[in-house]
Amino acid sequence: MILGNVYKAFNFSISMRVSNQYLSICNHCKAWCCTLVRPLVTKQEKNAIIAAGYSNFFIKYENDVYSIKPNEKGICPYLKDDYSCDIHHLKPKLCKIWPVIPRYKNGKRDYIVIKCPIFPELSKDDLKQAKNEAEAIPTPIVKYLWAISSEVRHKYKRFEYENI
């Protein structure tokens, strides 16, 4: 589903390097990360996506926490048939930092990285940059993410993870 001047066109965007190798990894994976929990966004992120002319799939949880309503297949409606993200230039910060995930566990935030197929391609700097971005995500978003992810956390076990 990060960083840098050029965002990867596929769901994963952590790298500043856009390579066919990355595209092929995510394509082969069939955008598994986009089929997990619904991305949560701030009002500002939601407004930017709508202002750019994309369909409004958002539902409000509270003042500055919005979710993307899943489609009939139960996945993100911005995921295209070729597993690319239709809003990749404006994709939610939670998507940009994947496979780094902020959690709100036992009353405090921590950060993990899921060792999905793209993980071996990531440098320490990539992960550091992703964690920095994750730290900027508002706590209400992280709390909601942790709450709604309870229903799919077992899916994360498909891959190992570690704290960063």
Contact positions vs ligand SF4 (CB under 6 A): 1, 11-12, 25-26, 29, 31-34, 39, 76, 78-79, 85, 87, 91-92, 95, 98-99, 116-118
Q: In the complex with ligand SF4, which residue's Cβ is closer, 94 or 107? A: 94
Q: In the complex with ligand SF4, which residue's Cβ is closer, 14 or 104? A: 14
Q: How far is the CB of 68 from ligand SF4 (least distance, A)?
A: 6
Q: How far is the CB of 6 from ligand SF4 (least distance, A)?
A: 15
CB of 98 closer than 8 Å to CB of 33? yes
Q: In the complex with ligand SF4, which residue's Cβ is closer, 93 or 106? A: 93
Which helix (H) or strand (E) covers residue 9, if one does? Answer: none
Please provide the DSSP assignment of 59-105 as one string.
EEEETTEEEEPP-TTSS-TTB-TTSBBTTTTT--HHHHHTTEEEEEE
Rounded Cα–Cα distance for residues 120 and 6 (Å): 20
Q: In the complex with ligand SF4, which residue's Cβ is closer, 3 or 76? A: 76
Tokens for 101? 């995930």
Q: How far is the CB of 138 from ligand SF4 (least distance, A)?
A: 17
